Structure 1
Amino acid sequence: MTSTSLPSTTQVAVVGAGPTGLALAITLAQAGVDFVLLDKLAEGANTSRAAVVHARTLEVLEELGVAEQLIATGLKLTRFTVRDGVRRLLDISFAGLPTKHAYTLLTPQFETEAVLLARLRALGRDASRPYEVAGVEQDERGVTLTMRSGETLRAAYAVGADGMHSAVREAAGIDFTGAAYGQSFVLADVVMDWAPGPEEVSLTFGTAGLFVVAPLPGGRYRVVATLDEAPLEPSLDFVEQLLEERAPGQASVKDLVWASRFRIHHRVADHYRAGRLFLAGDAAHVHSPAGGQGMNTGIQDAYALGRALAEGRLETYEARRRPVALRVVAFTDRMTRIATARGPLLALRNILLPLVGRIPAFRRNLATELAELDYR
């Protein structure tokens, strides 16, 4: 269903065909639950955006039959390093975690979406595009979704996997509690020579703010940085200057593949369900990219909700997944605030981190939190 035809009825309407919506659709397809997957774009996004797939998500993707294909497209890394400038403060290793995926996988989001979509099509299903949902109304017996183009779809349940500005969440009347960070974020994919090399993800602290460099397949690197006010469309010169300021002498940029500015919020929906309407992924929670956990938490939401819909355990979904989002938001907020500490707090941070980093239990717990293995 990629073109103009839209069925009139279904069991579950899934709004949004990003990683969360695709994972939910696969879960429902495997369980034999009828659904329609809607997306307002004529085709999937081709930018990389989320680039990290953590261990728990890989376990879920195994259940969906796509882990092996996705792993083949990415880089396996076992080390996450925290620095202040060039000074190494803390090394976190994923090796030895209680999972067959004792690493983090680096692969651009469009690869993740492509693998998920191929799996969905192998199951005989597809996304319906382009259909933008303009209205959502529920009653005692179901939900009516009205497209901007005029078509309607009747479903027993509807799921908002349609991002931070979710039409489903708005229709459900669910508040999105939280706030925005004052700084803006720059996200860029570059080809460069990087002194720390492609064997680790680097989180660099500094008075200017948070700075992350992560290797990607094909010799590329993902750069994420906070700034008081970033340009709307960061240029190659801007990214080169940013790297020189945040990591002097560490990078030699050869090409800018893609760059964007965005603002980050830390918010969690007050509820994940209102009657026959459900939320998952960024429609339910948004947070700092410091730990690379946004897409991961959304895919895990999708799997949990799909199983709950298939098994008639709808009351368990919010109870299982909302506490996870609260924990992820709190964790990434702490990481962001520690990274952007200034004054006396900066000096205290740089003293304490190397000290606590010598404690094996601290390093193991931090790796487990990043990998989301406690969220099983």
Structure 2
Amino acid sequence: MPTIETTTTDVCIVGAGPSGLACALKLAARKIPFVIVDGLEAGHNGSRAVLMHANALEALSTTHPQLADEIVAAGVRSKLILNVSNKGQRNFLIDIDAANRAYTKYAFCLLIPQHIVEAAMRKHLGDVIQWKKRVIAVEAVGQQYEVRFESGDVVKARYVVAADGSKSTVRQAAGIKYVHPQTGEESGPGPKDMSFVVADVVLQEPIPASVPTECLQLVAGGGVLTAPIPAAKGQKNLFRFYLGVPGTPPPAPDAAFIQAILDQRGPGSQWPEPAVPKIEQVIDSSRYRTRCALAERFFHRSPGGGYIILVGDAAHKHGPAGGQGMNLGICDGCEVAEAIGTHRQTAADSAEVFEEYSTRRRATAREVIEMVENMTNFEKGGDGWGHYLQTKMVSTMMKVPMFTGRIAWRLSGLGHAKKVAVAA
């Protein structure tokens, strides 16, 4: 029979995605003992998030500047965001560099797949992740929680960080509801859920003028996003596509399925002389359904004084517009590590530091969800005068530098950065 292990530590992080890894890196920098586990056999390697914004890079760089530099070096810096119609007309342009360079050295959207970011974070963290650890129960015992796994192993910790995704077992164990941010009703599958395809593809040469090779582009009304992403050695013309899809797409859409969408409503599809990109190879593809959700609170205290704290998708969920998910999760992870460090130094057991974390990060998540929902509604467009007038109005407003600067600032997340007091 296999040996059953029981480990006692200060913090147990459940989930080794970006938010869990960010928390682990910050705890390691503070020399706070922790265990990090994940139910997968190894790290993610498929199509997921593809954008990093300034706030996440700034948060990582405070303790791991070399990590932030390596991530930036591995990605494509998109200093502009283009929004065009499928007829090729430019609706607007957001100059991220001009708007934000006075406030950060990361004045761009970094186009980089999530699995590359995670790999860099794991390298700096070291070989400490315990894989194939699927949680089956989380129970409060005295001042600690006992986290139990399918293997029979147990981790005892005062602080449990739920970084285990939108279907979080840890959140459910804490009895925290996952609700719609507007209605307050419990979130669940519904007819308004959006389906989309995420695909990494190699495009045939020559790359048509309808597809920029140095920046992010949104095709309004078509529900299509194109992003040039770093290619493996010996590879070129690699792009990430996000494609809104009515109904239910196949689990791993092939080139024919994706090409049909591009031909119908992709970039260049309605140009006087069509300039639709042609797919040479699909490297990876998957489907997702998304809806917005927000945990009713971001922490739970047991009667004995143990804490469960939520980060990332365990705390909030929204669509891919604006590339906010990975960034929000990384900043959650960084801040919860700070909160744990502060709480450990508090003589009296007070939940105040976690109340502050929950209030601040929940308000941030709510604001981001609202922004993403508005962007999604604009991107998917529609027929008739309503959509036409909306597009004209937004295009006119986006010609005002102060307005586009505000959008660039909101996308960067810098306005949500926690202000740290500096001793005199």
Instruction: Determine helix, strand or coil for the equivalent of 2:253.
Output: coil
1:191-202 matches, within 5 Å, as: 191-192=202-203, 193-195=207-209, 196-202=211-217
How far, CA to CA, are the matches of 1:245 and 1:215 in structure 2?
21
Identity, in percent, stands at 33
What residue identity is the alignment partner of 1:269? A
1:295-314 to 2 correspondences below 5 Å: 295-312=326-343, 313-314=353-354
Matches for 1:219-238 after TM superposition, within 5 Å? 219-229=237-247, 230-238=249-257
- Whether the 8 Å contact between 2:311 and 2:329 is mirrored in structure 1 is yes
Flag the 1:297–1:139 CA change in 2: closer, same or farther, 3 A: same
What's the CA shift for 1:237? 0.6
Q: Which runs of 5+ in 1 are unaligned?
A: none
Asked whether the equivalents of residues 6 and 128 of structure 1 are also in contact (C-alpha less than 8 Å), the reply is: no
For 1:233, the aligned partner's letter is A
1:64: how far off? Answer: 3.7
Residue 84 of structure 2 corresponds to residue 69 of structure 1: no
In the alignment, the residues of structure 2 paired with residue 19 and residue 336 of structure 1 have an alpha-carbon distance, to the nearest angstrom, of: 23
Aligned 1:198-209 pairs, distance under 5 A: 198-206=213-221, 209=222
In structure 2, give the amino acid aligned to 1:317: Y
2:165 aligned residue (149, 163, 166): 163
The aligned counterpart of 1:375 is 416
The one-letter amino acid of 1:220's match is: L
8 Å CA contact 1:84–1:350 kept in 2: the answer is: no
Matched, 1:99 2:104: yes
SS of 2:97's equivalent in the other structure is coil
> Which residue of 196, 201, 204 maps to 1:190?
201
Q: Tell me by how many angstroms 1:76 deviates.
A: 0.8
Deviation larger for 21-30 or 58-67: 58-67
Equivalent residue, structure 1, for 2:90: 88
Letter in 1 for 2:376: T
Equivalent positions of 1:258-337 (< 5 A) are: 258-275=284-301, 276-312=307-343, 313-337=353-377
Amino acid at match of 1:31: R
Task: Give yes or no for the alignment of 1:243 onto 2:262.
Answer: yes
Instruction: Find the residue that maps to 2:44 and give its secondary structure.
Output: coil
Q: 1: CA distance between counterparts of 2:220 and 2:250?
A: 21
Look up the equivalent residue of 2:51 and give its one-letter code: V
Give the SS at the match of 2:46: coil
More strand by share: 1
Match for 2:212: what amino acid? Answer: G
- The answer to whether the Cα contact below 8 Å between 2:4 and 2:152 also exists between their aligned partners in 1 is no
What amino acid is aligned across from residue 287 of structure 2 in structure 1? R
Secondary structure of 1:314's aligned partner: helix
1:315 is displaced (CA, Å) by 3.1
Task: Give the equivalent residue in structure 1 for 2:7.
Answer: 8
- The answer to whether residue 391 in structure 2 is matched with residue 344 in structure 1 is no
Q: Residue 121 of structure 2 aligns with which residue?
A: 116
What is the CA-CA distance between 1:339 and the residue it aligns to?
1.8
1:27 touches 1:306 (CA, 8 Å); kept in 2? Answer: yes
Structure 1 residues 45 and 194: alpha-carbon distance in aligned structure 2, compared to 1, 3 A threshold: farther
- CA drift of 1:133 comes to 0.6
Q: Secondary structure at the match of 1:261?
A: strand
Equivalent positions of 1:124-139 (< 5 A) are 126-139=128-141
Once the two structures are superposed, what CA deviation does each residue of 1:175-195 show, in whole Å capped at 9, x if it has no partner? 111255433111111111342
Calculate the TM-score normalised by the size of structure 2. 0.84
Structure-2 separation of matches of 1:197 and 1:89: 15
236, 239, 255: which is aligned to 2:281? 255
Deviations 1:150-185 (A, max 9, x none): 111111111110001000110011111125543311
1:234 deviates by 0.7
Q: Which amino acid aligns with 1:134?
A: I
What CA distance in whole angstroms lies between the structure 1 residues aligned with 2:47 and 2:60?
A: 19
* Contact persistence 2:16–2:37 (CA under 8 A): yes
2: distance between equivalents of 1:201 and 1:303?
A: 27
1:79 corresponds to: 80
Aligned partners of 2:318 and 2:372 also within 8 Å: yes
- Distance in 2 between residues matched to 1:136 and 1:130, nearest whole Å: 17
Distance across 1 between alignment mates of 2:63 and 2:113: 19
Residue 344 of structure 1 and its aligned partner are, at CA, apart by: 2.8
Q: Contact 2:61–2:68 at 8 Å: present in 1 too?
A: yes
TM-score normalised by L of structure 1: 0.94
Q: Deviations over 1:197-248 (max 9, x none)?
A: 2121111112xx5211111012311100111122222111111111111221
**Residue type at the aligned position of 1:252:** K
Letter aligned with residue 374 of structure 1 = G
Alignment-derived partner of residue 58 in structure 1: 57
Deviation for aligned residue 1:259: 0.6
Preserved contact between residue 4 and residue 151 of structure 2 (Cα < 8 Å): no
Question: What pairs up with 1:140-159 in 2 under 5 angstroms?
Answer: 140-159=142-161
Paired residues of 2:47 and 2:198 also in contact (CA < 8 A): no
> How far apart, in 1, do the equivalents of 2:208 and 2:324 lie?
24
Shift of 1:140: 4.3
